[in-house]
Structure formats: C-alpha cells, structure tokens
C-alpha cells in the first residue's frame, strides 16, 4: 500500500511475515489476559498491536536483557488503558514472565489496569490519565537533547479520543516551537472512544493539517500495513528540526470480526463463546 506521500516501504517478505506472526501472537495473549481477568480494554489494544510489534521487535534500540540500558529508545503508552498490548509484547520479549499475563488487573500482581513503572519492568512512565503521556515524552526527549544523546528517540502512542485533551495540544505546540526532532508521536486513529465514534463525539479532523500547522512533520499511514509502519518509522529517523507525528489509521478490535469497529468492546471482555471464536479467527492453534 502507498501512503499519502505516494511512497511505500520496501522490506523483505521474511521480515513482514515475522512481524505479522508476532503481532498475531500478541493479539492472542492480550485477549487471553483480558478474558481471564474479565476486565480490560480489548478494542484499543488490538488496534495498536501491529505498531507496538514493529517498535519492540524491529525498530527501537532496546535490549530485553538490560531494560535500563543507557542507550535505549523510550516507548510511552499514553493511551494507558491499552496496557494489555504492551504487557503481551514485554512477555514475548522475556522482560516479564508470560505467566504474569494470567493475573492482569489482579491485586498483588504487577500488571495493573494501566501501566505502572513502579510495579512492571519495562514500563517507562505510569500513564492512563489521558493527555499526560505526550508531555512526559517531551520532557524525556528534551532531556536526551540536553545530554547530547543524538541517536536516541522517544516514541509515544496516543489515542484518537485522547487528542481531545487540552494538554495534548499544549505539548504539540511546545514541541513544535522547540523543534524537538527526537520525539515521535503515533496516533492510534481507530475512530472509536469510550462512548462511541470520535467524529460524532468531538471530531478531531483535519488532524494532519492541524499537526502540520503546529510545526510537526506529519505522516499518515495504514496502521496495519507493516510496509507502511516501517516506512514511517524509518522516515522519523530523518532529523529535519521538527518532531514527527505518525497518524496511523487503524481498526478498533483488529483481528476479531465481532470486535472490529464495535464501540461495545472498548472496555468489555469477551464471554466464553466469543473468546472461542476470537481464538479461532486469530489462529490460536496455528
């Protein structure tokens, strides 16, 4: 698929297939965790799975054996309710034990409903109060610049409903004015927030034009096409004196037919029959 700039990635089929399969496993694991907890946010976790996979398993400078490596890139999940997708990725990397996924949202365990950097290895910032993650990411990016860490970057995933928060736009204004070109925002634009469709609740369009007006280099992609995703992430390496915003068009509940574009599964766990169907569609026994 070509992105809006008429360009497309040119990546090996082996790499793309590997990432697709990893994303499939992550979708299965996050859904199983939510099902066992009978609590959590499947829709926005599933929509973010391909981008999170591309970051952790290909793009980011990250060492799962040394999560405090002083040359690592940062990933901050500002839309913290989608924590299951990050937990599943960290489990696949071996940062946390896969068995911990069985205890999602359980008292006394490390995987809380929103990311908690004090409880969970690999979490860079405690998030979930929407609007704050981008501000945290900007602070880290500025700190890296002060320390002259030229090669390190900060990636932050933002929800489209979260784009309605004033703090987001204050940060976008400041980052653009400061030209913080080691900051990469990724908007998971799945079109659905808690109560329904974003465009009907508080429309954020035209999003690309708004970000560009705030002095951000802006790339719009298909957030489920790995060629598109990798191309945009590689484009973010080009330091042009601007922060980068990747607007990723995604599908809420991607990969599970009855969850796709269904606001009901923003924050509802599947029942037993739904879970069986979901696992079958995702190829659990493949």
Q: Which of 53, 42, 37, 44 is nearest to 101 (CA)?
A: 37
Is residue 50 within 8 A of residue 23, CB to CB? The reply is yes
**CATH code, domain with 51:** 3.40.50.970
Range of the domain at 160: 13-281
Section 150-161 average pLDDT: 96
How does pLDDT run across 90-143, given as a tens digit for each residue?
999 999 999 999 999 999 999 999 999 999 999 999 999 999 999 999 999 999
Count of domains observed in the chain? 1
> Is residue 6 situated within a structural domain?
no
Decide: residue 9, CB within 10 A, 0-12 exposed, 13-18 middle, 19+ buried.
Answer: buried
Is residue 29 within 8 A of residue 240, CB to CB? The reply is no
> Is residue 32 situated within a structural domain?
yes
Res 286: pLDDT: 65
Q: Which of 83, 10, 13, 78 is nearest to 49 (CA)?
A: 83
Count Cα atoms within 13 angstroms, Cβ side, for 268.
13
> Is residue 198 situated within a structural domain?
yes
Listed in order, strand segments (DSSP E) in 82-173 are 154-159
How does pLDDT run across 176-198, given as a tens digit for each residue?
999 999 999 999 999 999 999 99
> Is residue 54 situated within a structural domain?
yes
> Is residue 8 situated within a structural domain?
no
DSSP three-state, residue 74? strand
> Is residue 3 situated within a structural domain?
no
* pLDDT surpassing 80 at residue 1: no
* pLDDT surpassing 80 at residue 48: yes
Is residue 128 within 8 A of residue 157, CB to CB? The reply is no
| Alpha carbons 101 and 28: distance in angstroms, whole number | 11
> Is residue 274 situated within a structural domain?
yes
> Is residue 7 situated within a structural domain?
no
pTM for the full predicted model:
0.96
Strands 196-197 and 192-193 turn out to be antiparallel
């Amino acid at each position: 698929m070509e992105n809006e700039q008429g360009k497309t990635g040119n990546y090996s089929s082996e790499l793309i297939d590997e990432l697709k399969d990893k994303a499939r496993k992550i979708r299965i694991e996050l859904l199983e965790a939510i099902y066992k907890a009978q609590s959590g946010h499947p829709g926005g976790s599933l929509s973010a799975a391909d981008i999170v996979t591309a970051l952790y398993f290909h793009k980011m400078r990250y060492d799962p054996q040394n999560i405090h490596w002083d040359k690592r890139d940062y990933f901050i999940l500002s839309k913290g309710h989608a924590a299951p997708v990050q937990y599943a990725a960290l489990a696949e990397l071996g940062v946390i034990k896969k068995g911990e996924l069985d205890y999602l949202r359980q008292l006394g365990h490390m995987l809380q409903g929103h990311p908690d950097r004090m409880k969970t290895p690999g979490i860079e910032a405690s998030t979930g109060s929407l609007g704050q993650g981008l501000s945290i990411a900007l602070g880290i990016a500025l700190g890296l610049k002060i320390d002259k860490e030229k090669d390190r970057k900060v990636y932050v995933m933002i929800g489209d409903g979260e784009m309605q928060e004033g703090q987001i736009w204050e940060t976008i204004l400041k980052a653009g004015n400061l030209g913080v070109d080691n900051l990469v925002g990724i908007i998971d634009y799945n079109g659905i927030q808690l109560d329904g469709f974003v465009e009907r609740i508080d429309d954020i369009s035209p999003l690309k034009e708004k970000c560009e007006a705030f002095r951000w280099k802006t790339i719009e992609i298909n957030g489920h096409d790995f060629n598109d995703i990798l191309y945009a992430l590689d484009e973010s390496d080009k330091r042009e004196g601007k922060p980068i915003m990747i607007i990723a068009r995604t599908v809420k509940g991607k990969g599970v037919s009855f969850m796709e574009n269904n606001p009901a599964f923003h924050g509802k766990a599947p029942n037993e029959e739904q879970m069986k169907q979901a696992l079958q569609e995702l190829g659990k026994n493949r």
